[in-house]
Structure 1
Amino acid sequence: MNHMTFPLASPSREHLQEMVRGVGLRQVRLVSGSILFAYLLSHFVNHALGNISMEALATGVYYHTAFWRFLPVAIVFYGACLVHTVLGIWALYQRRQFSWKAIEPLQLVLGLSIPLLIVTHVVGIRLGQALYGHEKLYPQELYLFFIASPHRIWTMLAVLVIAWVHGCIGLYFWLRMRSFFKRAAPFLLAVAVLIPTLAMLGVYQGGRTTMSDYEDADWRHEALSAEKLGTVAQQTTLERVASGITIGYLGLLGLVVVARGARTLLERRGGMIALSYGNGRTVRVPKGLSVLEASLRNNVPHASVCGGRARCSTCRIRIIGDTASLPEPSPREAFVLHRVGSADPSIRLACQLRPNADLSFFQLFLPHTMSATGHAGSPARIGQERYLVSMFVDMRGSTRLAEKRLPFDTVFIVNRFLGAVSQAVLECGGRPNQFVGDGMLALFGLATNRHEACRQALRAAAMIAANVDELNQFLSHDLHEPIRFGIGIHGGEVIVGDIGYRDHMVFTALGDAVNVAARLQDMTKSLACEAVISDEVRATAGLADDALPAQEVAIRGRNEPMIVRTVEATRVLSALVNDEHAVAA
């Protein structure tokens, strides 16, 4: 009997295994925190309805509770509460050193304080409803805050601010490495300030309405009945439960603090190890610290964009010597190393490696480009993978030009050419990146999406032709033949970051897409055209399939042939891009 094979099953299984390898405590914390932040956002929007009326508050809380008390949602929500709280306590125990001197400890302290501040509120509403059938909605809660126990309003406002700030810090740590974050940050900040402000104003307006309604005896009889608020005995029971939970939680936090101290003593008794940084610097630390924690504890600058969360690879180190005695990489560390294509066992993440013996290494990303805390002002300066369009522009005949002119005259003409090219690139939204002799690499897409980046590159190619025509007219009295050029354009995923040494760092892009653009520029000579554009750029820019002639070519360094589009005169690209834009509009 023949056995049938299914070739697609293995890649799917491998993809699933890779996804599972990438899941760690930080990913679980992120998911659970996102669920809680969604609840908080829903609650704040509900509070903000108090600026309209009490009826709006009542309508909002109806839909709010209907969604969050729906059994599957409730299971996920309360599971996220439990998981996030346990992970916060575990972080208090596990974290030996904070890479940011203020914001990380602040986030942890705020997060751990939230259960203390909300326990009375949660027990009074949820447990009261579950045990005694109490119906504490906005009228009852606002009565307690503004009339029965006015001092509790400050606790309520404090928990609003603390929970919101804690959630916003978590979102900031998650989003700040995303390519869109710099553009979105002002809008996110406006939302982060506006939503809690409206929520607190809504509570205040609801409180004023409640204080006015309290003067009505009928309102008091209906809203403050024992069925809604509970009897004195029931309230006493709920307060005892809340007090017991508070004492238990504080005892757990105290136990964790004691455990931290005991661990420190045990680590010191377990021995010290020496970490050598490869530059003559050596520090002695207790066993159990990660290399990054050891660096931070001893004020040794160490690159770490994500703050030691294994969400980037900028803290990578290369081990000097034997790696056999090192602990095996955790699933999360293995995932990150695999993601950046590192199969070398001597390459490890400093935030995850906890050596138990003396270790010598050197950092792959030098920290002199960082701030004192080891973080870069922009993650892209350290290393970031993203889609960019690369354009190589080369001046033709510069060698013959130099043979017949004085050196200063040649430099003058080449600089005017590069100036004409750079002006076109800048006006179309690109960035002149590298100048090599009489050629230039320009990048598009650093601040826009891939569709617009491709269109910007095509417009720039057309404008380069116009600028070079003007330059040829200006230099016509000094040139025996007009300046000609070749352009290669290709788009794809590249790594962008600072490359170089010490004071000679250059921001640039590395990757196959950049190399292909350079090869396409070379092909303009053999194909007798001004520009060669990859079909990837043509399609992404939205140009019609028959807009430019196609040709299949072999690219040096690539196994498969590639479809490219030849442009005899780049001036036509301006009309093509504008025509496609008009059709789309």
Structure 2
Amino acid sequence: MATAPVHMPELVRATGVRQLRLICGIILFAYVVSHFLNHALGNISVDAMEVGVYYHTLFWQFLPVAIVFYTAALTHMGLGIYALYQRRQFRWRTIEPLQLVLGLSIPVLVMGHVVGVRLGYTLYDHQKLYPQELYLFFVAAPGRLWQMTILLLIAWVHGCIGIFFWLRLKPFFTRAAPYLLAAAVLVPTLSLLGIYQGGRSVAVESEDGEWRSQNLTRGQVGTVAEGNRLDRIAGGLTIGYFGLLALALAARGARALRERRGGMIALSYGNGKTVRVPKGLSVLEASLRHNVPHASVCGGRARCSTCRIRIIGDHGALPEPSPREAFVLTRVGTTDPSIRLACQLRPDSDLSFFQLFTPHTLSANAQASTPASIGQERYLVSLFVDMRGSTQLAEKRLPFDTVFIVNRFLGAVSQAVIENGGLPNQFVGDGMLALFGLSAEPRTACRQALKAAAGIATHIDELNELLSHDLRQPIRFGIGIHGGEVIIGDIGYRDHIVFTALGDAVNVAARLQDMTKTLACEAIVSEEILRTADLADDALPQQEAAIRGRDEPMAVRVIADARELAALVDRTERVAA
């Protein structure tokens, strides 16, 4: 089953309904920010507000910009109504419904203002600016001031929630969050204060008859008849909007009825858990509905791949991936047709699968932890080390004595790894996987791993000397080192979850460690490590090696004595300095 047509442009594949809604929302939020900053000028004077609105309208009423803006506004409103129909379950039971409700309420609150200002200008050439609007809010109809204040706050909160959902997965968000929070609080505060200060000034000035004659003319505020007609238009548009909302709700009810009549399907999670849901639900929505833990960092927006599942059995009858789903799967390097996004797959028959990422929450509706704990793609260096001869050692010793020696071996290895900036990760019998690069850039990580290999050799020498009275032969070891893109995250089940790395780079490092037995050496390092560490090409002897599981041979460097690696790295660093 093809994941996506190869001729389809990547931009089209990357864009779905949610991405379109995000783009439109960003355009509208930019307008809101511009408008709020204009309001904030009221803290200086009403004249400053009028100067600011001149440049504000000069930009936003520039024909190409105006076309983009109004298209974004209508599209965003339409997609909001569609979301009311389409959204079945919410990952975060408070924030997502709140965002949707706030967004749907904005057209109702803003309709009168838009009709009064923009349509009034189009139909009657009304020149309503800040003096006229502030007079309306603070003198003629004070009740509208509260409506406008509520509108401003709702629009701002709705926009901030959308920006949060967009940016929270970005690498820079943690650093930028305090500044974004400060802006999210200061901008609306200064805006409302500006409106209040400007309104007070207008209220005082409006007591002067000359001010009224200059600022409340027919060309500026229109006649009573014109105002009534505009109110009727606003009322009709509002009723029409409520009609669209009612239509979306009716469509939801019709869909639910159709699904109940269309039959139920069984979804089996591969761990004995099976749920029955109506046809048409996505797998993630089914998990949310039945409170089954399911990882999904982006909340089902097809902006991450943490909800991935692997289909058990025949996957040929499943619906084809949407362009957006195909794009995400391609980005994470998945070509296996049995792997799908749970948030996008809507099966119409019984389905068995298992999740590729372990959820960290007790329910599918709780907020996920950090993206790294769920799954994150990173460049890491994997170092595998294994103790040689442990089987013969166990045959000739008491079990507890063997455990003691193996623990001393792993302790010596771990000490060398930690001293050089690595993380002892997995312990498998008498072997260990160490990771480098969790907090360092790739070149540094490669050099740290090479120095750690030398450190392991040194610490094992000390251990052999310490245990010389009790060992018939010194402890020997083999090390394999390779680097590349891997997935890091927490793997396991319930209380048995560990943080580790998965990927081809980890597997290759393990294969290289195995090869040290046949090549009678202490360490084998991939060409990738030497190249990324910026070591000289002739620093170590090169040879081609056949790696199990790979079609092509791989260039590696064989190190008979791992202690040499420390001097090699130190020499390279001195030359670079």
Tell whether the 8 Å contact from 1:214 to 1:220 is kept in structure 2 after alignment: no
- 2:490 equivalent to 1:506: no
Query: 2:413, 2:235 → 1: CA distance?
Result: 72
Q: 1:410 to 1:338 in 2, by over 3 A?
A: same
Alignment of 1:484-499 (within 5 A): 488-499=480-491
- 2:552 equivalent to 1:559: yes
CA-CA distance at 1:90 after TM superposition: 0.9
2:343 aligns to what SS in structure 1? coil
Alignment of 1:386-425 (within 5 A): 386-394=378-386, 411-412=403-404, 414-423=406-415, 425=417
1:442 aligns to what SS in structure 2? strand
Q: Which 5+ residue runs of structure 2 have no aligned equivalent?
A: none
TM-score by length of 2: 0.80
Tell whether the 8 Å contact from 1:46 to 1:199 is kept in structure 2 after alignment: no
Name the structure 2 match of 1:90. 82
Tell whether the 8 Å contact from 2:358 to 2:491 is kept in structure 1 after alignment: no
Name the structure 2 match of 1:10. none
Query: 1:53, 1:453 → 2: CA distance?
Result: 55
Match of 1:371 among 362, 373, 382: 362
Tell whether the 8 Å contact from 2:374 to 2:489 is kept in structure 1 after alignment: yes
**AA matched with 1:385:** E
Name the structure 1 match of 2:117. 125
**AA matched with 2:355:** L
Name the structure 1 match of 2:105. 113
Query: 1:436, 1:474 → 2: CA distance?
Result: 20
CA-CA distance at 1:91 after TM superposition: 1.3
Query: 1:383, 1:421 → 2: CA distance?
Result: 27
Query: 2:92, 2:330 → 1: CA distance?
Result: 27
2:92 aligns to what SS in structure 1? coil
CA-CA distance at 1:372 after TM superposition: 0.7
CA-CA distance at 1:112 after TM superposition: 0.9
Tell whether the 8 Å contact from 2:28 to 2:73 is kept in structure 1 after alignment: yes
Query: 2:450, 2:313 → 1: CA distance?
Result: 50
Match of 1:264 among 223, 242, 256: 256
Q: 1:49 to 1:402 in 2, by over 3 A?
A: farther
Match of 2:204 among 211, 215, 234: 215
Query: 1:77, 1:426 → 2: CA distance?
Result: 55
Q: Which moved more, 1:82-91 or 1:407-416?
A: 407-416
Name the structure 2 match of 1:203. 192
Count of residues in correspondence between the two structures: 563
Query: 2:295, 2:102 → 1: CA distance?
Result: 26
Tell whether the 8 Å contact from 1:458 to 1:573 is kept in structure 2 after alignment: no
CA-CA distance at 1:443 after TM superposition: 2.3
Alignment of 1:56-75 (within 5 A): 57-58=49-50, 60-75=52-67
Query: Deviations for 1:338-387, whole angstroms, at most 9, x for unmatched residues?
Result: 55565665554443343444x14133347664331256423433433333
Match of 1:156 among 148, 166, 179: 148
Query: 2:343, 2:27 → 1: CA distance?
Result: 27
Q: Which 5+ residue runs of structure 1 have no aligned equivalent?
A: 1-12
Identity %: 61
Name the structure 2 match of 1:249. 241
Query: Deviations for 1:170-191, whole angstroms, at most 9, x for unmatched residues?
Result: 333344444x26xx33632541
Q: 1:464 to 1:561 in 2, by over 3 A?
A: closer
1:571 aligns to what SS in structure 2? helix
Query: 1:527, 1:55 → 2: CA distance?
Result: 83
TM-score by length of 1: 0.79
Q: 1:242 to 1:537 in 2, by over 3 A?
A: farther
Q: Which moved more, 1:99-108 or 1:124-133?
A: 124-133
Query: Deviations for 1:239-269, whole angstroms, at most 9, x for unmatched residues?
Result: 3322222111112111221222233223333
2:564 aligns to what SS in structure 1? coil
2:298 aligns to what SS in structure 1? coil
Tell whether the 8 Å contact from 2:310 to 2:356 is kept in structure 1 after alignment: no
Name the structure 2 match of 1:145. 137
**AA matched with 1:371:** L
2:104 aligns to what SS in structure 1? helix
CA-CA distance at 1:145 after TM superposition: 3.4
Q: 1:86 to 1:562 in 2, by over 3 A?
A: farther
Root mean square deviation of aligned Cα: 4.2
Tell whether the 8 Å contact from 2:284 to 2:294 is kept in structure 1 after alignment: yes
Q: Relative contact order, CA 8 A, sep 6+: which one is greater?
A: 2
Tell whether the 8 Å contact from 1:428 to 1:456 is kept in structure 2 after alignment: no
